Structure 1
Amino acid sequence: MRRMSGRRKIDSGARGMALVIVLWVLTLLSVIALEFCFSMRTELNVTQNFKEETQVYFYAQGGIHRAIAELVYKNDPAIQAQRKQVEEQKKLLPAAEGEQATSSLPEEWRTDGRPYSVPFRFGEAEVRVRSEAGRINLNRASDQLLRKVIKYFVEMGEKRDVIVDSIQDWRDKDDLHRLNGAENDYYQSLPEPYNCKNGDFDTLEELLLVRGVTPELFYGKKMKGEGGGQEEGPIVGFKDIFTVFSSIDRVDVNMASPEVLMVLLGISFDMAKRVIEVREEKEFANLAELVQRVPEITPYVQDVKGFLLFKTNMPYYTITAWGKTKEAESKRGLECVVKIDPKEENGYKILMWRDAVY
């Protein structure tokens, strides 16, 4: 009896140990299964995100190429002659027929920065085209114009004079520095020395190398609107005002952004938006028409009227495109500067390409 009782105890202990082992094995298998499911889900999400990122990238790229095509058509003499012919025929037809004849031609894209939508099957691209004539030419701006522009960012004083003089020293051909400027002797004395270029700016980012120009001035900071502390204006920096692609030393009012109008004319953001709203109805033909249609701007244009233009044919354009899915869960921005030139093989040449815009 004692021997049987001992066997039962041994069998009971063995079965208990086996049960514990089985439970541990099941727990381990459950953890492995959960980890596998989690890994698969993570990989699925990564793959889905990669797919959407690739899609919106090419949506944006497609939007840029659509804008380039529109610009090529806009600058094509044959198409413009056809459009002019239709307009002349419209004047000879009754009103209803004239409108129908005009509507048969596609509407030209405006190059003042207004958005255009380019649809795709699973998403779209929002495209903006802006003529470089609407910005201030960094390589051609006079001392007077530079001082007026920099005054918007920096109060009167030595700091403003340092920036203005240093910009001119950077782009001139000699090694003689202005009163508050900088040449090689200054740049070579820096902890990480480099040479003064003594030539035109090739990119706007070169401004960050110029004495006195800080990242905050270049990339911009929030400006207060007319509401003071309650209302905030746009983020404005040198990168929004200047260009290195313009071939003129003045600014086309019909192509200028609100930020350029604010800085150049010294007006509020609300007044700049008012100019844009009036301009969208019909472009300004000259200074007199600008003052007539936006009377409140009169006191601000007298000092800068020599820097204003109202009609240019400059072939340089900045195209910004945002690709996004229909659910707007993924978004990607691209930007480029193109020159429309019939002499080029495809009628245009890409001068700058930025693969990520935030």
Structure 2
Amino acid sequence: MIIFANNHGKSNAAKTAGFVLPLTLWMIALFGLGIAAINNWVSTAVENARTLQQKSESDLMAANITNELVYAIATQPMSPRGLEVGLEINNPGQGDPMALMASINESSDYIALDGRPYLLEGNIDYTIQIQDGRGLMNLQSVTSERLRRLLALFDIPETLRNQLPDTLADWMDADDLTRLTGAEKYEYERQRRFPPRNENLLTPMEAQNILGWDGIPEVWAADLRAPLFTTCRIAGFNPNTAPETILLSYISGLTKDAASNVIEQRKVSPFRSGREFMSATGSLLAAEPFFFSVVPGNCFIVDLTHRESGRRVRYSLSLVPSSQNKPWQVDYAFNIPSQINEPSDGLSPRLAFPTPETLNPVIGGDNRVSGLR
């Protein structure tokens, strides 16, 4: 009897073993990929949650700081120096009416409203910069001459210097008549752009939608570093809080050296009248007797910066005491790109924006920080 070896069975077993090994390796690889994907998803979710938590904490802190700022502005007097925050107010005696009329409510300490940085007494992880709206170029009411002077400081071509005042005015006026170098609805539709709103600007950034205004990136970059423009609903110009660029734009014939001298002089002694300012600069502004206001208004541009992360938020804060809802409003707010931010190291804790408890000892005791400037 002849018995043949079962080579066919051995061959099938070998094939099966050869198939199971790659399958096992593939399953291990797939499990590894799945675990890696889950781990990556969990890590991303944790990071997103941490970011959201930081943003929520930052937003809450910004809201608290805004409330403290509103309290300070609403309860403390203004002077040519800025916001008076000292406990001792230099008021004249009640029996001297002439002294009362000529008096300026100055206290032992003050906060300047010209954009200089202050640490927050309640949280030194943040700095605050407050810019009086009267010290900026108001796009709602700026004259063509002043706007052209500002553009010339940035070496903007003459064609744009002539065009931008006209397109700005056409964007805000109610008619459809086009100024000499302006633009109305037809010109925007032809370029497939949003047409003019025919109303006042809501924010300075809205001007970037106006024809020609998107062609001056150097101006907008400077405005991000330190505010130049405002859309505050206020009148007047405050030379005590205006940056050098705005001084040169508003005052015809003012030299750069004279503007620098103005800034240095007002740090020592602010201007207390338009006449005093004209005397110091050699300017004659007889046609605008009511244009100057040496005291800050009721609208402020606020930059709030987290010193560690560098996150900076800018918002416009207006006091509206006649409002039926609340006596203040945030007109707009936006984040400043991180590459624009500048370091805030070297600030002294003595240069601190006070808390409500410091301003009012009845609230939290007299823990006054002296030497605020």
- TM-score band by shorter chain is 0.5 to 0.7
Question: Residue 21 and residue 164 in structure 1: after superposition, are their counterparts in 2 closer, same or farther (change >3 A)?
Answer: same
C-alpha separation between the residues in 1 aligned to 2:84 and 2:196?
51
- Aligned twin of 2:316: 337
Task: Report deviation, 1:191.
Answer: 4.0
C-alpha separation between the residues in 2 aligned to 1:27 and 1:120?
60
Equivalence map 1:191-210=2 (5 Å): 191-192=191-192, 196-210=196-210
- Aligned twin of 2:303: 320
Question: Residue 271 and residue 28 in structure 1: after superposition, are their counterparts in 2 closer, same or farther (change >3 A)?
Answer: farther
Task: Report deviation, 1:282.
Answer: 6.6
Q: What SS does the aligned partner of 1:221 have?
A: helix
Root-mean-square deviation (Å): 4.8
- Aligned twin of 2:101: none
Task: Report deviation, 1:31.
Answer: 1.0
Q: Percent identity?
A: 17
C-alpha separation between the residues in 2 aligned to 1:353 and 1:209?
18
> 2:149, 2:248 within 8 Å by CA — same for their partners in 1?
no
Give the TM-score of the pair, scaled to structure 2: 0.62
- Aligned twin of 2:60: 62
- Aligned twin of 2:215: 216
Please list every run of 5 or more consecutive structure 1 residues that lacks an aligned counterpart in the other structure: 90-104, 224-233
Which region of structure 1 is more displaced relative to structure 2, 256-265 or 160-169? 256-265
Equivalence map 1:217-256=2 (5 Å): 217=216, 220-221=217-218, 235-236=222-223, 240-250=227-237, 252-256=238-242
C-alpha separation between the residues in 1 aligned to 2:114 and 2:69?
13
Q: Deviations over 1:249-290 (max 9, x none)?
A: 42x34433465457657877x998897677667756568988
Give the TM-score of the pair, scaled to structure 1: 0.64
1:23 equivalenced with 2:21 (yes/no): yes
Equivalence map 1:69-84=2 (5 Å): 69-77=67-75
Equivalence map 1:63-212=2 (5 Å): 63-77=61-75, 86=88, 110-116=112-118, 124-153=125-154, 155=156, 157-172=158-173, 176-183=177-184, 187=187, 190-192=190-192, 196-211=196-211
1:353 equivalenced with 2:333 (yes/no): yes
> 2:84, 2:110 within 8 Å by CA — same for their partners in 1?
no
Q: Deviations over 1:208-230 (max 9, x none)?
A: 4444x24231xx2289xxxxxxx
More helix by share: 1
Please list every run of 5 or more consecutive structure 2 residues that lacks an aligned counterpart in the other structure: 92-106, 338-373
Question: Residue 291 and residue 131 in structure 1: after superposition, are their counterparts in 2 closer, same or farther (change >3 A)?
Answer: same
C-alpha separation between the residues in 1 aligned to 2:233 and 2:53?
33
> 2:114, 2:130 within 8 Å by CA — same for their partners in 1?
yes
C-alpha separation between the residues in 2 aligned to 1:282 and 1:41?
62
Equivalence map 1:266-281=2 (5 Å): none
Q: What SS does the aligned partner of 1:317 have?
A: strand
> 1:59, 1:125 within 8 Å by CA — same for their partners in 2?
no
C-alpha separation between the residues in 1 aligned to 2:121 and 2:29?
46
Q: What SS does the aligned partner of 2:146 have?
A: helix
> 2:164, 2:213 within 8 Å by CA — same for their partners in 1?
no
- Aligned twin of 1:228: none
Task: Report deviation, 1:317.
Answer: 1.8
Task: Report deviation, 1:116.
Answer: 4.5
C-alpha separation between the residues in 1 aligned to 2:167 and 2:144?
11
- Aligned twin of 1:41: 39
Which region of structure 1 is more displaced relative to structure 2, 46-55 or 61-70? 61-70
Q: What SS does the aligned partner of 2:190 have?
A: coil
> 1:170, 1:210 within 8 Å by CA — same for their partners in 2?
yes
Task: Report deviation, 1:243.
Answer: 1.5
